[in-house]
Structures are given as structure tokens and as C-alpha cells.
Structure 1
Amino acid sequence: MLGSGLCFVAMTAGVKYLGPSIPAAQSAFLRYALGLVFVLPVLGVLRRTRLEPATWRAFGWRGVAHTLAVMLWFYAMTRIPLAEVSAMSYLNPIWISIGAALFLGERLRLRRIVAIVVAILGALVILRPGLRELNTGHVAMLGTSVLFAISYLMAKQLSGRVPASVIVGMMSLTVTVGLAPFALAVWEPVTLWQLWVLFLIATAATAAHYMMTYAFVAAPITVTQPVTALQLVWSVTLGAVFFAEPVDLWVVAGGVMVVSAVIFIALREHQLRRGAKGGTVAP
């Protein structure tokens, strides 16, 4: 999880480094297109897997949500500091919890509701609407977190129908195809150096997901989930040291509130699952 967090931060820093020199849609497309090299081993599994029409539609709609989320995320990276992007990205699990209750019939217990309220208050501390000027980057990041939550909820539904490798492979393919027309509409010439940086971004993203998956297999969530909080520390440090972004204590405080709520929800879910396996469910 430490390695995964470092790779996620490195990926974010790479996008920040490129900045607005490449349009958001184009840089997002190139990141996914270059990253397809890591999907090649899955193509054989994809060819052998027979999908029902409903599953194809689900993959398509998930591709739409993820495509829009990725474009907004790349755009937000060029408009707001690293620390704010990192802190607001922790809202994804909060929207997932709300969506699971609304659309998947999962029960929202009191403690989880309290954690969600704390996370939303943390987001308000970060944004401080009315007390400071908000720009389109903040709006884009809010949209990103909601759309990523929709994508992950759909992945959860698909996980009962097809192997995980197929879900990951189809996401990469559908997002690459979905980003293509947006990228072509704003296409600008790119240098070999920019392509190399984007390939490193794709590599870091793939490595981050791989290590995170390995961590989930190797250790219980009570060990792995709290480590994700370090991403906020690394983002704040990286932004201050390499991009001269001032450390906003309000953003740090709000981020700590959101991260704490996410960790609490994850640990609580782990306790409930252990209780269910043992024949009892904690109140």
C-alpha cells in the first residue's frame, strides 16, 4: 500500500507537471492509449469470454462514466493544487456508500451515516464556499468523484458476472475509445518528451493498481486502508516542494476529516463482514 500510494502520487505529479501544455482530453487519451500495452495479456481472456447483451451495455455505460471522470480529473489537475485534488479524491468512497444504499439496497447504519456527514463537512472545509473564490477545477473535481463512484458501483455489479481481469481490460479499452473523439477535437502536437512522461504516468497508474490489489490479498483491510491516508501527506509535500504550492491548513484539516471518515467506513465494513462470517453482525 505504501508503494501503491507513492505510485498514485507520482501519477498525479506527472499530470501536474505537464499542466495545460496538452489539452485535458488529449493527455487523458494518450495516458490510456499508451497504457494499453499493459492490457495485452488480458486480450486472450477477453476473446474467450462470452458476454450477454446486458453485460455489454453495462460495460458501455461504465465506459461513459469513467471517460467523463478521467477528463474532468485531468482538467482539475491543471487548475487546483495537488493537495486539494488528493483530499477531494477521497470523496469517491463516500459517494459509493450513498449510491450503494440508494441503488444496490445496502443498509446505511447510523455510524456510517455519521461518517458520511463528517466527510461532507470535510469537503466543505476544503472548498469553503463563500469564504474564498472557487474555480472550475473545484467543480470538475466534484464531478470527478461522483462519476468515479458511479463507475466503481457498476464495476461492483459486473464483478458477479465476469472475471476481474475482464473488467479491468474492458475499462481500459472503453475509456480509450471514449476519449478518442474528445482528444481529436482539441488535438495539438506533442513532443517525444511529453509522450515519455505520459507513458510513465500510465506505468505508475498500472503499478499502483497492481500493488493495491496485491496488498488487499496479502493483508486485511485494517492494515491496508489507514496507509492510504499517507497519500494526502505526500501530495501536500510534493505540491509545496516541487510546484511551490502553499500549504493550506484548511485543506489539510478538511482532508483529514474526509480521510478519517473513509478509513472508519472501511474498518467498520471489515468488522461487519467478520461478524457475519462468525454468525453475528455487530449493531
Structure 2
Amino acid sequence: MSAPFAELRHRLLSLWNLQTPVLRGSILMCLSTLAFSVMHVSVRSVSAELDPFQIAFFRNLFGLAFLIPLLLGNGWAQMRTTRLGLHALRGLVNIAAMLMFFTAVATTPLAKVTALSFTAPIFAACLSVLVLGERFRLHRWLAILFGFAGMLIILRPGLAIVEPGALLVLGSAALWSTAMIMIKILSRTDSSIAIVAWMGIFLCLFSIGPALMVWQPPSPGAWLWLVFIGFSGSIAQVSLSQALKETDPTAILPLDFLKLIWTALLAAWLFGEIPDIYTWIGAGVIFTSGLYIARRERRSARQANA
């Protein structure tokens, strides 16, 4: 029985390898955005029964379980590191961001959550100057101001009630951007396998405590949701990582906007949530700002290496 499956796998891999790197990266990026959206919808669904802190623990636990075959296939030697403390600090920052984000997903319109999450690269651009000492560039700061203008379009402070969940998303985005800076530092010495593996381990460790404070036994239906959240989250992360390896990130970053489209469609179908025009306009402004920053930084890096 294994021979037909092996032959099918060989043919599919051959067909895959015949495609251009940009097409392969685009397909994987689309898969990643869909998986992220499905995970967010799943978190919202199970949050009616379980606290977001407990959901975050199981997302990390099952996510790590799905990554174990990848770790075994690449060898445990890939996990060697001389920066365990920085890995731990990154895990602490990540779990704080995840707890804030999952709480927002449970209480705030999903399209708005996704739109505001696009601010993470903008926060990262600010931190790159302050923490990594990257050059001050006028175009970067103009793009950052443009991105924050998009945030104000969505929130409309003074004209509409600013939901606590929206502020949690922004806090989460700021923390995610801090984690991005840590990844840049870790990538100078550690393998990508080590970075992913240690993140999974520390996320599990740091999420146990908050989960125990609100613990209640999940129902059989909730267990299915929790496993699915871990699976879809792992698919999203692995697909994104592989997509960025296949081709120039700036070639596929525009597809990240699909997250908002998938999420809006799923939220409208399952929860009856229809995003207002301000969410779409603000998301477009924020996303354009982040994309511009990414393209300019990529161009600057190429010129520096030329």
C-alpha cells in the first residue's frame, strides 16, 4: 500500500519543484493567511467555553506537539544555543502578546483585530532605530506616521467608543514587534530550527501559570477545537516560514492582506460580524505603510550588500 502513496508523493513534489519560487511562495503565503484566519475563528468559537488564557496554553502545547516531527527530522543538534536567556525573554514577550491577542479575539470584532494587528511591522520599524541602531530615514518615519494615521481611522477616538480589545491588539502588536527584534538578534547565531523550537518550549512553560488560574475541564467538543487551534497555528507558522524561504519576502508580503479578507468572510458567516468602512480603509492605510517600509528596507539592504 505504501508504494502508490510514495509514487504520488514523488509526482506531487516533482510538480511542486517545477513551479517558480514566486509561485511556490505565493501559494504557501495564501495557505498561511488562511490558516491564521481559521485559528482566530476557532479561538473565538471555543472562547465561549474556555478562558483565552487556557486556550493559549493548549495552542502552545498542541502546536509544539505538531512541531516535534520537524525537530526529529532535523536533529536535536540544531537546537544548540548560547543565548538561552534571550530565548526565554523572547518567550516571555511572546506569551504576553499572545494572551493579549487571544483576549482581544474573544471579545472584539475579528476584522478589526486583524486590521489593527497589521501595525506590528510599523512598531518594529520604530524599534529597529531605537534598539538596533539602524539609520534614521525620513521615508521610514513618514511611512510610520501614515500607518498610525490608519490606526486612528479604525479607532476614531473621540468619535466612537474605543473598545478595550482594540487596545489589547495594539499592545500585542507592540510586543510582537519586540519579539521580531529579538529574532533578528538570535538569527545571527542560532538556526531557524532552534529559534522555533525554543519559542515553543518557553511558550508552553510560560502559559501554564495563567492557564491554571482559570482552569476548567474542557468538554469533548472543546478538545477538538483546541487540537484544531494548535494544528492550524502550526500550519500557519510553518507555511509562512517556508514561503519566506522560497522567494524575496517583498514579492509575497502583499498577500498578507488576505488575512483580513479571510477573517472578514469567516466572521460574517459564523458570527454575523460585518466590518465597517473605516476598518477597511484604515487596514488598507496601515498595510500599505508596512509594505512600503518592508520594500524600502529590502532595497536598502541590497544596496548595502552590493
State the TM bucket, normalised to the shorter chain.
over 0.9
CA distance in 2, matches of 1:11, 1:218: 24
> Is contact 2:81-2:194 (8 Å) kept?
no
Cα 1:233–1:198 change in 2 (3 A) is same
> Is contact 1:45-1:166 (8 Å) kept?
no
CA distance in 2, matches of 1:108, 1:193: 52
CA distance in 2, matches of 1:113, 1:17: 39
Cα 1:50–1:3 change in 2 (3 A) is closer
Does the alignment pair 1:178 with 2:206? yes
Using the TM superposition, give the Cα deviation of residue 273 of structure 1 relative to its aligned residue in structure 2, in angstroms. Answer: 2.5
CA distance in 2, matches of 1:222, 1:137: 30
Of 145, 162, 165 in structure 2, the residue corresponding to residue 137 of structure 1 is: 165
Q: What SS class does the counterpart of residue 107 from structure 2 fall into?
A: coil
Trace 1:118-197 onto structure 2 (pairs within 5 A): 118-197=146-225
Equivalence for 1:217: 245
Q: Runs (4+) of structure 1 moved beyond 4 Å?
A: 43-50
Equivalence for 2:17: none
The residue type equivalent to 1:148 in the other structure is W
Does the alignment pair 1:202 with 2:212? no
Equivalence for 1:281: none
> Is contact 1:222-1:270 (8 Å) kept?
yes
Trace 1:77-88 onto structure 2 (pairs within 5 A): 77-88=105-116
**TM-score normalised according to structure 1 size:** 0.92
Does the alignment pair 1:259 with 2:283? no
CA distance in 2, matches of 1:60, 1:212: 23
CA distance in 1, matches of 2:137, 2:35: 34
Q: Any idea what the Cα deviations from partners look like across 1:94-141, whole Å, max 9, x if unmatched?
A: 111111100101113111111110110101111111111123211211
Of 122, 138, 144 in structure 2, the residue corresponding to residue 110 of structure 1 is: 138
Cα 1:133–1:272 change in 2 (3 A) is same
Which structure's CA Rg is the greater one? Answer: 2
Equivalence for 2:276: 248
CA distance in 1, matches of 2:247, 2:266: 28
Cα 1:157–1:9 change in 2 (3 A) is same
Using the TM superposition, give the Cα deviation of residue 276 of structure 1 relative to its aligned residue in structure 2, in angstroms. Answer: 2.7
CA distance in 2, matches of 1:234, 1:98: 29
CA distance in 1, matches of 2:40, 2:259: 11
Equivalence for 2:305: 277
The residue type equivalent to 2:253 in the other structure is Q
Cα 1:222–1:58 change in 2 (3 A) is closer
Using the TM superposition, give the Cα deviation of residue 48 of structure 1 relative to its aligned residue in structure 2, in angstroms. Answer: 6.6
CA distance in 1, matches of 2:108, 2:206: 25
Q: Which runs of 5+ in 1 are unaligned?
A: 279-283
- Backbone CA RMSD of aligned residues: 1.6
Using the TM superposition, give the Cα deviation of residue 148 of structure 1 relative to its aligned residue in structure 2, in angstroms. Answer: 1.0
Does the alignment pair 1:40 with 2:80? no
Q: Which runs of 5+ in 2 are unaligned?
A: 1-28
**TM-score normalised according to structure 2 size:** 0.86
Of 99, 123, 128 in structure 2, the residue corresponding to residue 100 of structure 1 is: 128
Does the alignment pair 1:237 with 2:260? no
Using the TM superposition, give the Cα deviation of residue 245 of structure 1 relative to its aligned residue in structure 2, in angstroms. Answer: 0.8
Equivalence for 1:22: 50
Using the TM superposition, give the Cα deviation of residue 241 of structure 1 relative to its aligned residue in structure 2, in angstroms. Answer: 2.2
The residue type equivalent to 1:182 in the other structure is P
Matched length = 276
CA distance in 2, matches of 1:265, 1:50: 33
CA distance in 2, matches of 1:84, 1:155: 27
Using the TM superposition, give the Cα deviation of residue 155 of structure 1 relative to its aligned residue in structure 2, in angstroms. Answer: 1.5
